[in-house]
Amino acid sequence: MGTGVFAFSLIISLLLRCLASQHPNNTDAFFVSDFFRKMKVAPSSAEGSSSRVCSWRGVSCDGQERVVSLVASGFGFSGPIPESTIGKLSELRVLDLSHNNITGLSLDFAEPGSSLRSLNLSWNKITGPLPSNLGNFKLMESLDLSHNWFTREIPSQVGSLSSLVVLNLSRNLLEASIPVAILGCTSLVAIDLSHNRLSGSLPGGFGVAFKNLSTLDLSENEISGKMPDLSGLDSITYLNLSGNLLQELALGVFRDPLQVMDLSRNQFHGLISQVHHSSVSSWSSLVYLDMSMNELTGYFFPGLEDLSSLRHLNLAFNKFSSQEFHLLEMPSSLEYLNLSKANLTGQIPPRISRLLNMKVLDLSRNHITGNIPELSTKNLQGIDLSVNNLTGEIPKSLQQKLPVMENFNFSYNNLTYCGMKFSPETLESSFIGSQSDCPIAVNPDGIGSVDNKHKDLKLGLALALALSLFFLLAGLISLALALRKRTPSWTVKQPSYREEQNISGPFYFQTDSTTWVADVKLATSVPVVIFEKPLLNFTFADLLSATSHFDRGTLLAEGRYGPVYRGFLPGGIHIAMKVLVHGSMVTDQEAAKELERLGQIKHPNLVSLTGYCLAGDQRIAIYDYMENGNLQNLLHDLPLGLQSTEDWTSDTWEQDNAGIQSITTEGMTTWRFRHKIAIGAARALAFLHHGCFPPIVHRDVKASSIYIDSAMESRLADFGLSRIVGNSMEGDMSRGSPGYTPPEFSELENTLATTKTDVYGFGVVLFELITGKKPIGDEYSEDKEITLVHWARDLVRRNEYSRLIDPKIRETGPEKQMEEALRIAYLCTADLPPKRPSMHQIVGLLKDVEPVTIMH
């Protein structure tokens, strides 16, 4: 096999050399031929194996055989562009080398600058700074360098491109501020600088300079300060400033023909209701408006109902004043409406059924009461009404639509439904706290006389009663035999009557490494706060009962903050309780304030704080229970399909291993699943860093901090607790865990944790997911290497990716995607913090290598 490949390569090389030798070495034909030869790609031609370069696929020439266009997208070019090849094409007007594996530019690359009109090098792997001689392209109209690895600042020479119409530098690693010189590109119609590290503010006069600009995308950067003055953008139709650090909002400057405006995930604050009705009325062309995840206050701005073209409206996760839902008017053209956590009260107005085009409706996390009205829309694909105070039955017409919807959630209300058509997993995730009211007996055909129905009903009831008694008796006998056979070490101890009465303190508890005291006189006098259910009157006595007085049988783990227990609160609420043994460093008032703040931080990929209890000097943080354990446990500690009773796992792996079985089937041994875990954790960190104000630094990102929920999504835990434990553990917590600690902590004293510390820890986790190896103490093939990071980074530098990929996942997905993910981990674990990308950028990079889902 190897001999055949070598022979084929030799033939191709000789063919290209022969073709090149047929042209003088100063002609365009020679330069193009030499380029293909040095890049080791065989050209194709409509004329067969023609030596005439102008007949090659992707090559166009003028009447004098001079190459004017080279379109070679996806040809398989790899490595840097060689010197003295395409850089010598003096009449070249169009160059498209996108979707290849080019890693660098030649020094003479800008020599054809006097003629080049369009340059597309997107979707390659070009590293280093943008070339400063870009200014040589005086006639350039379209410049696309997106989806590469360009670093440092945008060179000021770009301002010389006065004819430039399209500028796309998105999804690189560019930093610093946008240069003032860019204002010289007055012909620009589209600017895309999204997904970089750009900071600072926009140059003054930005709006006035670009009269023809229709598209502006600056999303996923670190641009800060007040919202730029864009009042001069008279032609703007698409504006995306999402995912930045902008603070002062100015909406009055926008008007038609604006169609898309995305200002989400910034730090905009102030009264949104100050937007004048006259300003809103000038948005008649607006189709898409997203202002979610900011700090906007007051009431919704007036005139929303007049936006007759609006189809997408998202105002979720702000700090609006309490407002009656039924007083709000919405445009009838809406297809997507998200008012999650918008402080809505009252009932859902029946007129919402007039929104006939609605596809997605999210009203979760509000204070809405009453019944769910009938929804007449036929196109509904998703609905989320969770975490409200809704009552009554979910309308049957809506229940009939649910099986064909993409997603729905009615959890944490007081609703009733008939769940016969739903799987147990759906019932557990989408109807939490609701009750099924399905009829006892159902005759689906409705056929037969009244007498036959009565006869069948009596027979069915008798049979059901007999079977119930039989299985009850059999179950009791089996249970008795099992208990006589053995009492497992992990069995939760049931408190005796006398223990249940022991609710007077103080209470002393001990684990293998910690002794902690809850110095309270009466357990029933200490309240437990549950954020989403404030009317539930739980006390410390309920925690004692749930954990059998914090018995070791309920101990899940002992973390750096303290021991973690599991238990069931009254009503079957499954929780995990983390005792912050060092939490007494702050006052009760300070601890409660900080815990309340943490309780407001919600994201699908975070293990959110659901409540707390201040028991004497102890602060007990309460979380949702994670059924499938953490990544450390699943990836390293246990064989697939087994569980540890010392982690957040199912009650007994022998009796209920459904969750772990799904992990085995989904395959911790598949690339798709590991990528899913990685991007979920990345989204969680990106939210903490860029979606919270002030940003939250996790300080201890590692595999054991990432949990897997019942839906097989990754959840990041243990964020934001450092303020509660106080200064006593500040130094220890900042330094992270062995194998995850960045180099700056070993080189400098008194180094404080930053968002770049978290990025490093995430990079280590990403290396773990791809290699399947532990961060320290594993076999790395070379004895001299002592950590995963040192070993992996060295192999990435040498382009020896195949030695890094876990054999278990190698055949389960495109190896190129795994290699790209290794490069992302390499960037994250850079020695110098400024060289590490932001978590927003990492999310974007991981999306680029996301496995394609095949729909059956």
- Written as one string, the DSSP assignment of 647-660 is SSB-S-TTT--HHH
Q: Where are the alpha helices (DSSP H) in 691-734?
A: 722-725, 730-734
Q: What is the model's pLDDT at position 639?
A: 44
- Residue 199 is part of a domain; what is its CATH number? 3.80.10.10
Please indicate, yes or no, whether residues 466 and 532 belong to a single structural domain of this protein.
no
Query: Known catalytic residues?
Result: 700
Q: Do 794 and 653 reside in the same domain of the chain?
A: yes
Which residue, of 625, 656, 680, is where some domain finishes?
625
Cβ neighbors of 459 (< 8 A, separation 6 or more) are: none
* Domain-located, residue 152: yes
> Does residue 640 lie in a domain region?
yes
**What's the rounded Cα separation, in Å, for the pair 609 and 596?**
9
**Within a 10 A sphere around the Cβ of 849, how many other Cβ atoms?**
20
Q: Is the distance from CB of 320 to CB of 271 less than 8 angstroms?
A: no
**Calpha distance 385→402 (Å, rounded):** 13
Which residues, 6+ apart, have CB-to-CB distance to 637 below 8 Å?
644
Are 616 and 509 within one domain?
yes
The residue out of 246, 264, 298 marking a domain boundary is 246
Evaluate whether residue 641 is within a structural domain. yes
If asked whether residues 731 and 665 sit together in one domain, one would say yes
Asked if 540 and 564 sit in the same domain, the reply is yes
Task: Tell me, letter by letter, the H, E, C secondary structure of 478-542.
Answer: HHHHHHHHCCCCCCCCCCCHHHHHCCECCEEEECCCCEEEECCCEHHHCEEEECCCCCCCEEHHH
Q: What is the mean pLDDT of each run of 10 residues along the chain (856 residues)?
A: 51 50 74 94 73 90 93 94 92 95 88 83 93 88 94 93 96 93 95 93 89 94 86 91 88 83 89 64 88 88 84 92 88 93 92 90 93 88 92 91 89 83 77 75 38 46 56 57 39 35 65 72 88 82 89 82 87 88 74 88 90 88 88 71 35 33 54 94 92 85 90 88 63 66 75 89 96 87 74 90 91 91 94 89 89 55
For residues 741 and 846, membership in a common domain is answered with yes
pLDDT of residue 153: 94
One-character DSSP codes across 569-636: ETTTEEEEEEEETTGGGS-HHHHHHHHHHHHT---TTB--EEEEEEETTEEEEEEE--TB-BHHIIII
Q: What CATH number is attached to the domain comprising 856?
A: 1.10.510.10
The CA distance from 791 to 776, in Å, is 10
Q: Is residue 699 part of a domain?
A: yes
Residues linked to residue 529 through DSSP beta bridges, in sequence order: 612
543 within 8 A of 612, measured Cβ to Cβ? no
Residue 591 · residue 615 · CB < 8 Å: no
Q: Please tell me whether residues 751 and 638 are part of one structural domain.
A: yes
The pLDDT score that the predictor gives to residue 464 is 53
Which CATH number do you get for residue 539? 3.30.200.20
Quick check: bond before 80 cis, omega within 30?
no
pLDDT of residue 113: 64
Measured between alpha carbons, how far is 217 from 236 in angstroms, rounded to an integer? Answer: 11
Residue 417 lies inside a defined structural domain of this protein: no
Which helix (H) or strand (E) segment is 383 a member of? strand 382-384
- Nearby residues of 140 by Cβ (< 8 Å), 6 or more positions away: 113, 116, 117, 118, 119, 161, 163, 164
Query: What local confidence, expressed as pLDDT, does residue 261 receive?
Result: 94
How many domains does the chain divide into?
Answer: 4
Would residue 210 count as lying in a domain? yes
- Same-domain check for residues 499 and 468: no
Of 246, 269, 292, the domain-final residue: 246
Clarify whether residues 593 and 719 are in a common domain: no
Task: Give yes or no: residues 595 and 509 share one domain.
Answer: yes
Secondary structure letter of residue 88 according to DSSP: G
Do 639 and 777 lie in one domain? The reply is: yes
Write the CA distances from 500 to 495, 504, 546, 624, integer angstroms: 6, 11, 11, 25
User: Degrees (nearest 5) of the Cα angle 292, 297, 299?
Assistant: 95
229 in any annotated domain: yes
Q: Which residues contact residue 835 at a Cβ distance below 8 angstroms, ignoring those fewer than 6 apart?
A: 827
Residues 527 and 474 in one domain: no
The dihedral region occupied by 412, where left means phi > 0, alpha psi between -120 and 50, and beta the remainder, is left
In-domain check, residue 751: yes
- pLDDT of the residue at 829: 95
Radius of gyration of the chain from Cα atoms?
Answer: 31
Domain that holds residue 534: 495-625
